[in-house]
Homo-oligomer: A and B are copies of this chain.
Amino acid sequence: MDITKLLKPHKIAIVGASEKTGFGGDTCRNVMRYMTEGSCYFVNPRRGEVFGRKAYPSISDLPEPIDTVVICTPQSTVEDLLREAAAKGAGGAVVFASGYKEVGTEEGRAAQERLAALCRELDMALMGPNCAGFVNYVDMVYPFAFLSADRDRRGSVGMVSQSGQLCLSLMDSPSMRFSYVISSGNCAVVEMEDYLDFLVDDPDTRVVALYLEGVKNPAKFVSALRKAALKRKPIVVLKAGRSEKGAKQAASHTGSLAGADRVFDALFAKFGVVRVNDLEELLYTAQMFSVLPRLPERPAFASMNLSGGETGICADMGEAAGIEYPDFAPETLAKLREQLPGYASPANPLDMTASLSYDTELYAGAVRTVMSDPGVGMVLVGYTLLEEIADPAIEYMAPALERVSREPGAKPMAMLPFVGNTRNQKYLDMLEGCGVVMLPPPVYAFRILRYLADFIRYDSADHNLDVAVPERPRGGARCSLGEHEGKLLARRFGLSVPAEEVARSEEEAAAAARRIGFPVVMKIDSPDILHKSDCGCVKVNVRDAAAAGEVYRQIVFNAQKHHPDARINGILVQQTAQPGTEMIIGVASDPSFGPTVLVGLGGVFVEVFKDTALCLAPVSRAEAMSMAASLKGAKLLRGYRGAPALDMDGFVDAVLAVSDLAVHYKDTILEMDFNPVFLYEKGTCAVDAVVVSSAPLE
């Protein structure tokens, strides 16, 4: 859907223009402050004038065509007004009214469906309903229903929020500057995904900030993320629903499907999307990307401070956040020893001592030295800039930073304050003007720097971006394959499994065991019995033909006793796999984003430590390798306590086989579990398999 006319209109009309408090009045107040009279008409049948501007009795009475209509009046008036606006040429509409799907009643849902159908009929790009409107700071279009303090907010952060209240909070932050602020509301017509796509394309937007409650159009969402990943435009997302209570809250709030939160983590990891935890992180992270003149070439930081205490905080907090402070090169240290007072001991993080901060030339010299260190990607200047300047150090430091920032070979810089407060506007503007990012206090700052480091490290080429979004809604059935059938299927996609046969009599069991070679493992093969060991349906170490026959009888007896209704394919006679390190490879299918592949070390590692990694299918080789490396128990794979290292390439092959299988059946497979997969010095062997789908697999 083309939403250019909606977001970049030449002429708009405010219907319900008023001087009272409320949507109509507050929108007029905003429009009056930020838009010229010619770009915006007021409509109110009961008033000739609003705030001294002419008010027209109806849309039809407007002197020229409009692009976008902004409807401040109640729900009951909306449909007629949309028809009238369409007749006047409008291709965009903003509807503030509530009473639609968000109220959770049948009536509300019906009203929203009617509204959507009307817009489709009129070819109208509608924002809302139940939204707060938008601000286009590029062309200064301001149909926004909430008031905030008067201030120049023009910048390059494009913001979409599924909550109007949070939009407003973000605008309230004194350091935030935008290209667009969009309160998307119920998304009856234009979807959040459309706004996202618009901002990813928009040349005036350097970074997209998104407050997300849920995704209704996964394919469109993924396509916008892919586009951003490939052009390396940062997307910063605050997504509600990490906790169970938060997920419930998000679902009830906009009626969107919250989805499994961990799947969103996997999705964002695939596309290099920065996921943050609260508004403050959202705004400072976005602002950082918009102020930085360019990304640091490496995710490695130098920290320069005026006191030992501050240097210690930067050291501790940086390490805790996983920030890399490379040791300075010998020539850097030598030069710093010349530049700093004798009692300073140069290191990274660096205590410069306060003495340099009162001399622009000396200070600039030290910054230059640190910046020229080959290991450093970005320089962090520790200094608490306050609104009211008591200590004049900044008068010397700020010009030094400005000067250095303009020199050839300058590296990105940020200023890190140690206490929270509003910052002095003059110096804030001066510093941000030359690309020095103003960070929030340390707990926030180091999280944000970690996001930056992760973004720098992200390379879209490492990831398979063709997410297997399901194309059809899945059926409601649950079909399980028997273990043997599951393994046969997985083997077709390249997974190594032990030699095995299904026997249907004692004699067949004995014969199969002889062919396979003793000792064998014998198990029930039934789609209806998942926990085979619990009911005596698995026997290991079956040593000869006579035992095989006896075990056959036993297992059939136990199966019939504990699961009288189970369908039984037979008894699986299986080669005894050499013992190896137990891994698990699993698949769960997300209804929105398709199959996710999970890997972990088996046994207590999964069960007690929950030590697993997740990736949305299809999984690339690099993704599979990094999943394995991210496990807390990964050191057990790399030759633990003198044991030989395990076959990580072989393990990756196994993961890719499972991923291929999951992608092939993306519309039907619900879950798969290969547990354990033995991992050896050379090769792997999946000794058990559970495959569940929503329809028989073709």
Q: Which residues of A contact B (CB under 8 A)?
A: 102-104, 146-149, 161-166, 168-170, 172-174, 211, 213, 238, 240-246, 248-250, 252-254, 277-281, 283, 306-313, 315-320, 325, 342-343, 345, 347-349, 351, 354, 384, 386-388, 390-391, 418-422, 440-444, 447, 604, 607-609, 632-633, 635-636, 640-641
Known: A311-B249, A422-B422. A317 touches B278 (CB 8 A): yes
Beta-carbon contact of B277 and A443 below 8 Å: yes
Beta-carbon contact of A242 and B633 below 8 Å: no
> How close is A359's CB to chain B, nearest CB, in angstroms?
14
A351 and B251 CA atoms in complex are apart in Å by: 13
> How close is A511's CB to chain B, nearest CB, in angstroms?
36
Cross-chain contact of A444 among B309, B313, B443 (Cβ < 8 A): B443
A343 and B254 CA atoms in complex are apart in Å by: 12
A162 surroundings in chain B (CB, below 8 A): 309
Beta-carbon contact of A604 and B349 below 8 Å: no
Beta-carbon contact of B173 and A307 below 8 Å: no
A104 surroundings in chain B (CB, below 8 A): 343
Cross-chain contact of A249 among B170, B308, B447, B633 (Cβ < 8 A): B308
Which B-chain residue is minimally distant from A642 (CB atoms)? B534
Known: A278-B443, A391-B168, A419-B280. A349 touches B242 (CB 8 A): no
Q: List 6 A-B contacts (CB under 8 A).
A: A146-B391, A246-B319, A280-B419, A421-B422, A607-B641, A608-B635
A636 surroundings in chain B (CB, below 8 A): 604, 608
Cross-chain contact of A316 among B240, B308, B347 (Cβ < 8 A): B240
> How close is A177's CB to chain B, nearest CB, in angstroms?
14
In this complex, the member of A165, A277, A351 whose beta carbon has the largest number of chain B beta carbons within 10 angstroms is A165
In this complex, the member of A311, A315, A317 whose beta carbon has the largest number of chain B beta carbons within 10 angstroms is A315
A641 and B533 CA atoms in complex are apart in Å by: 13
A342 surroundings in chain B (CB, below 8 A): 103
A308 surroundings in chain B (CB, below 8 A): 163, 213, 249-250, 252-254
A277 surroundings in chain B (CB, below 8 A): 313, 316-317, 320, 442-443
Which B-chain residue is minimally distant from A442 (CB atoms)? B278
Which B-chain residue is minimally distant from A176 (CB atoms)? B419
Cross-chain contact of A421 among B173, B316, B418 (Cβ < 8 A): B173
Other than A240-B313, A240-B315, A420-B440, give 14 A-B pairs with Cβ distance below 8 A.
Answer: A103-B343, A147-B390, A163-B308, A166-B307, A166-B310, A173-B421, A240-B316, A243-B316, A244-B319, A248-B315, A248-B347, A253-B308, A280-B442, A422-B422
